[in-house]
Amino acid sequence: MKRLVAFLVGVSFLMLGLTTSFAKDKIVIGFTMSQTGKLNAESAEQYRGLLLWQKWVNSQGGIYVKALKKKLPVKFVYYDDESSKDRVQQLYVRLISKDKADFLISPYSSGLTASAAVIAEQYGKIMMATGAASDSIFNKGYMHVFQIYTPASRYLTGALDLLKAVDPKAKKVAIVYEQSNFAKAVATAAKKYAEKHGFKVVLFESYAKGTTDFTSFLNKIAAKRPDAIIGGGHFADGETFARQIFEQRIKVKLVSLLVAPAVPKFAEIGKAALYVTAPSQWEPKAKYTEASAKKLGISWYGPTASWFVKTYEKEYKEAPGYHAAGGFIAGLVLQKAIEDAGCLDAEKVRKALEKMDIMTFYGRIKFETGKYYGRQIGHDMVYLQWQEKGGKLVKEVVWPEHAASARLVYPYYKKY
Amino acid sequence: MEAWISAVLSGILLGLAYGLAAIGLNLIWGVMNVINLSHGAFIALGMFASYFIFKFAGISPFISVFLVLAVGVVLGMIAYFLALHRVILAPELSTLLATYSLSLIIIGLGTFFFTTNPRAIDVGLGSVKVFGAYIPKEKILVGIYSLIFTLLLYLFLYKTWTGKAIRAVSMNITAAKFMGVNTTFILSLAFGIGIALAMVAGALIASVFPFTILTGGVYELKSFVICVLGGLGSPLGALVGGLIMGLLENVLTLKIQVGYVPFLEFLILVIILLVKPTGIMGKE
């Protein structure tokens, strides 16, 4: 009997010890990354951005939580998801139930994020979705998933705004896109937007994955004489398309393609790359500043772009791309929401995210609260253009105006 | 109007290159009754040969193509003795499997060493204006080269002793043997030439379009359609088939969706097989 009492007392002391250790001394953020598999490169960059945020916030002592009246440092728990959807679901369950993650960050890519979102929603955990541009994640009624990237439905619409701003008489648009879910979603949305804003879509056609010969499309385009060609898909096809537009001397005023021109390797096609534009989530040259925040009447939050670029380059010996910026901002937005909420309660943080409307070095952040709950509506794509500076091809940001680093060179065929 | 000119010219120029690729397949089929399923793999090898010579020695594909031709003949002959010689008289399924395994080996090794990343040869010759349409100079050279190689093959087959021996073997291998023809050598040479033509076509196409190690498959499929279209065993038929294919792809698409073209191509294939199975230029 004595033994039993002693045992019970011991256990109760142990439990007491446990509960005291539950008193928060850190914020645990869980996520998976693709250390292996096909998404490795992009995922690694996103992770490096996220890691830089952790260093930045912990160097200031952590995130201030009003309810606890102190700053809590951020701790990461993460696993390798092998670029696999099935692994993602197992691992996010583990992050929540075993590792007791307070908040979640999505894996890289729309596919994996859609998988992880199911789990986040089931357990009622806030998940910042970065590296995921799909719209369809957000029409499933999830209330805990918030998007950092501009969604696919607004990927190319800015190209049309740009065209309208620079040449109001340009009305004819050709849309040629790859037969992939992402490109199709982008192209369909662009078509809808174009028709709504008084453009005439003279060509709307798709090409098979792996297409290398665009002659047929270009002949058609030449016959229909559009002012702008927009579309594309991935790297190889986009690069080839741009090259063949140049070889056939298509007399078009604006060329805007997905993905390929945003990749530095695009410069290898030389003069064919010149004056091609592309949407990008973020570019190091994008000029979002406190002044641009003031103009919009919203508040500025976080470090400046030049700090981010400089620190990133110092840390990793390479220039940051938009995947890295997306990682950093996912952390930053979460930080802001926790500070606004003043506690770690998921529902209160969710309310803070609903109300959020801020400017960061990555652009504006605001979330939809209607049918597509959690979808990004504040952030705009920036449009870059390949221009010539001192005999070298460089990427310049040309749109939107308040983020531009250079003026758009127009029309495209000026170089012929 | 320029669009039509551009479409027709592109169709003809590319059609000639498709034709050249198909002739390689056609020759092997005609002479040795072998359906060469490694055709596409060798087209891809030709592309990579051209690419590496351009990248590391800076030699234009339009010069190195002759080297590719020579290497192709040797490689083809080696492949013949390694994979085909022992089964050449066996039923067709055996040779089919032999060439298929050859293809798997090449593609497998190619994927391992070269990866499936896309590559391109940027010769950068610029474009020339023809009746208001801009045609890349590389495309024009590809067309001319294809025509020259077809002509050379024709002269070789009809004007030289070795060429006549190849034709003799294709007509009746036993009779050719009786006439003192070294049939083993001739068969290997025919396979070598067929492979070399595939590689040359690959090398030429690579100067216009980007490619991966898997790209050969696309042109292999085209080659089969062209062979059936033009008539199996007829080099001239292959050229005609290639032209038809090139023109279909480029001119038809001015009016219909590009995605429908493969459907039409294969529809034509089925119709030809039903109506005139020997092909347009094939003998009864």
The three state secondary structure string of chain B is CHHHHHHHHHHHHHHHHHHHHHHHHHHHHHHHCCCCCCHHHHHHHHHHHHHHHHHHHCCCHHHHHHHHHHHHHHHHHHHHHHHHHHHCCCCHHHHHHHHHHHHHHHHHHHHHHHCCCCECCCCCCCEEEECCEEEEHHHHHHHHHHHHHHHHHHHHHHHCHHHHHHHHHHHCHHHHHHCCCCHHHHHHHHHHHHHHHHHHHHHHHHCCCCECCCCHHHHHHHHHHHHHHHCCCCHHHHHHHHHHHHHHHHHHHHCCCHHHHHHHHHHHHHHHHHHCCCCCCCCC
Query: For chains A and B, what is the number of CB pairs under 8 angstroms?
Result: 75
From A206, A220, A270, residue closest to B254, measured CB to CB: A220
Other beta carbons within 10 angstroms of residue B56's beta carbon come to 8
Q: Is the pLDDT of residue A107 over 80?
A: yes
Read off the pLDDT band of A15 (50, 70, 90).
low
From B127, B211, B257, residue closest to A248, measured CB to CB: B127
How remote is the C-alpha of A86 from its chain's centroid? Answer: 23
Read off the pLDDT band of A13 (50, 70, 90).
low
Whether B158 is covered by a domain: the verdict is yes
Whether B281 is covered by a domain: the verdict is no
What is the CATH classification number for the domain harbouring B161? 1.10.3470
CB A178 within 8 A of CB A232: yes
Domain that holds residue B82: 2-275
Read off the pLDDT band of A401 (50, 70, 90).
confident
Read off the pLDDT band of A253 (50, 70, 90).
very high
Question: How close does chain B come to A33, measured CA to CA in Å?
Answer: 23
Is there a contact between B211 and A215 if contact means CB atoms under 8 Å apart? Answer: no
d(CA A183, CA A176): 10
* Average model confidence (pLDDT) across chain A: 91
* Average model confidence (pLDDT) across chain B: 90
Q: Is the pLDDT of residue A178 over 50?
A: yes
Q: Which residues of chain B make contact with A217, given a CB cutoff of 8 A? A: 253, 258
Q: Is the pLDDT of residue A21 over 80?
A: no
Read off the pLDDT band of A17 (50, 70, 90).
very low
According to the model, what pLDDT value does residue A19 have? 46
Count Cα neighbours of A272 within 13 Å in the Cβ-side half-sphere.
26
Whether B100 is covered by a domain: the verdict is yes
Is there a contact between A269 and B122 if contact means CB atoms under 8 Å apart? Answer: yes
Read off the pLDDT band of A11 (50, 70, 90).
low
User: Which structural domains are found in chain A, ordered by start?
Assistant: 26-150+287-366 (3.40.50.2300), 154-280+381-415 (3.40.50.2300)
Q: Which residues of chain B make contact with A180, given a CB cutoff of 8 A? A: none
Picking from B153, B139, B194, the residue whose alpha carbon sits closest to that of residue B16 is B139
Instruction: Give mean pLDDT, residues A237-242.
Output: 92
Per-residue pLDDT tens over the stretch B55-109: 999 999 999 999 999 999 999 999 999 999 999 888 889 999 999 999 999 998 9
According to the model, what pLDDT value does residue A3 have? 67
d(CA A262, CA A386): 9
Whether B206 is covered by a domain: the verdict is yes
Whether B109 is covered by a domain: the verdict is yes
- Chain B interface test: which of A203, A207, A213 (most B C-beta within 10 Å): A213
pTM: 0.80
Strands (E) located in A81-208:
103-105, 127-129, 145-147, 172-178, 200-207
Q: Is the pLDDT of residue A230 over 50?
A: yes
Angle at A203 between CA A201 and CA A209, to 5 degrees: 125
According to the model, what pLDDT value does residue A29 have? 97
Cα-based distances in Å from A338 to A67, A106, A350, B167, B239: 11, 17, 9, 83, 71
According to the model, what pLDDT value does residue B269 have? 86
Residue corresponding to tokens 């890295």: A324
Portion of chain A with pLDDT greater than 90, in percent? 75
Portion of chain A with pLDDT greater than 70, in percent? 95
Chain A residue at shortest CA distance from B256: A220
According to the model, what pLDDT value does residue B53 have? 96
Question: How close does chain B come to A225, measured CA to CA in Å?
Answer: 10
According to the model, what pLDDT value does residue A48 have? 95
B-side interface with A, Cβ within 8 Å? 2-4, 6-7, 10, 14, 118, 120, 122, 124, 127, 133-136, 209-211, 215, 218, 249-250, 253-254, 257-259, 261
Per-residue pLDDT tens over the stretch A54-71: 999 999 999 999 999 999
Q: Which residues of chain B make contact with A259, given a CB cutoff of 8 A? A: none
d(CA B247, CA B7): 8
CB A212 within 8 A of CB B209: yes
- Chain A interface test: which of B10, B134, B139, B256 (most A C-beta within 10 Å): B134
According to the model, what pLDDT value does residue B253 have? 86
From B136, B210, B215, residue closest to A247, measured CB to CB: B136
Read off the pLDDT band of B122 (50, 70, 90).
confident
Question: How close does chain A come to B251, measured CA to CA in Å?
Answer: 8
Read off the pLDDT band of A5 (50, 70, 90).
low
Question: How close does chain A come to B239, measured CA to CA in Å?
Answer: 20
Is there a contact between A206 and B259 if contact means CB atoms under 8 Å apart? Answer: yes
Question: How close does chain B come to A347, measured CA to CA in Å?
Answer: 46
Eight-state DSSP code of residue A272: G
Q: Is the pLDDT of residue A14 over 60?
A: no
Per-residue pLDDT tens over the stretch A31-61: 999 988 778 888 999 999 999 999 999 999 9
Whether B182 is covered by a domain: the verdict is yes
According to the model, what pLDDT value does residue B19 have? 93
Identify which has the larger pLDDT, B284 or B91: B91
From A216, A243, A248, residue closest to B249, measured CB to CB: A216
Question: How close does chain A come to B86, measured CA to CA in Å?
Answer: 37
Cα-based distances in Å from A282 to A37, A131, A136: 25, 12, 22
According to the model, what pLDDT value does residue A20 have? 43
Whether B234 is covered by a domain: the verdict is yes
A-side interface with B, Cβ within 8 Å? 179, 205-208, 210, 212-213, 215-220, 222-223, 235-236, 239-240, 243, 247-249, 268-270
Q: How many domains does chain B have?
A: 1
Per-residue pLDDT tens over the stretch B17-62: 999 999 999 999 888 889 999 999 999 999 999 999 999 999 999 9
Q: Is the pLDDT of residue B239 over 80?
A: yes
Per-residue pLDDT tens over the stretch A182-219: 899 899 999 999 999 999 999 999 998 878 889 889 99
Whether B283 is covered by a domain: the verdict is no
